[in-house]
Structure 1
Amino acid sequence: MGWLFIVMAGIFEVGGIISLKLTEGFTKLKPTILLIMCMGLSFFFLSLSLKEIPISIGYGLWTGIGAAGSVLLGMLIFNEPKSIKKLMLVGGIIISIVGLKLVS
């Protein structure tokens, strides 16, 4: 279950980051509430995952999922600049996440 919890934590982390962008400096109430909910759930699932997964692996996976997801959704939702280099670097993060899973 630890691996399922870490994936869920990462997904909620991405949701929190997207919500943070939508708050427009905490001037919008609904995205602010969504941010608090997503980040709370992200930390909750991260804490559950760390019961089974070493912190060195769990934290790396959590931040990697958050970083890769945020970059990809930023390009898709907010029309942030896209480039082959950026996609290759995100690919490196994803390869690293898979590598951490394989070595644990």
Structure 2
Amino acid sequence: MAWVYLIVASLGEIFGVMTINIYNQKKSFTWLFIMVITFGFGFYFLSLAMREIQLGTAYAIWTGLGAAGAVLMGILFFKESAGWKRMLFLTCIIAGAVGLKVLD
């Protein structure tokens, strides 16, 4: 169950970063509130995951999936570039997260 919590925590990180971008564009209290709630949601599930998964592994996978998800969100919703170099290094981040899961 800890791995499910870690994936859910990563979604909180991804959507939290996305709401930062939206907040920077709209500057409304509503988006600030959504940002705080979303990050809080992610941190809560990260804490649940860390009850069973080692600190280093949990944090590395959480940040790796969060970074990869944020890049994908940027490409899909904010018209950021999707060049081959960017995709290559995104693949490296995902491979590192998978490697940590396999070794744990």
TM-score of the two chains, using structure 2 as the length reference: 0.96
Determine the structure 1 residue equivalent to 2:11: 11
Deviation for aligned residue 1:19: 0.2
Judge conservation of contact 1:64–1:93 (CA < 8 Å) in 2: yes
Count of matched residue positions in the alignment of Structure 1 and Structure 2: 104
| Partner Cα separation in structure 1 for residue 9 and residue 51 of structure 2 | 13
| Partner Cα separation in structure 2 for residue 82 and residue 58 of structure 1 | 28
Judge conservation of contact 1:26–1:32 (CA < 8 Å) in 2: no
**Deviation string, structure 1 residues 36-69 (Cα, Å, up to 9, x no partner):** 1110000000000000000010000000011000
Determine the structure 1 residue equivalent to 2:81: 81
Aligned to 2:18, the other structure's residue is in SS state: helix
Identity of aligned residues (%): 33
Amino acid at match of 2:28: K
The alignment's C-alpha RMSD in Å is 1.2
**Deviation string, structure 1 residues 70-94 (Cα, Å, up to 9, x no partner):** 0111011000112011011001111
Where does the alignment leave 5 or more consecutive residues of structure 2 unmatched? none
Judge conservation of contact 1:8–1:42 (CA < 8 Å) in 2: yes
| Partner Cα separation in structure 1 for residue 89 and residue 66 of structure 2 | 14
TM-score of the two chains, using structure 1 as the length reference: 0.96
Aligned pairs (5 A) from 1:1-104: 1-24=1-24, 27-104=27-104
* Structure 1 stretches of 4+ moved >4 Å: none
Judge conservation of contact 1:2–1:50 (CA < 8 Å) in 2: yes
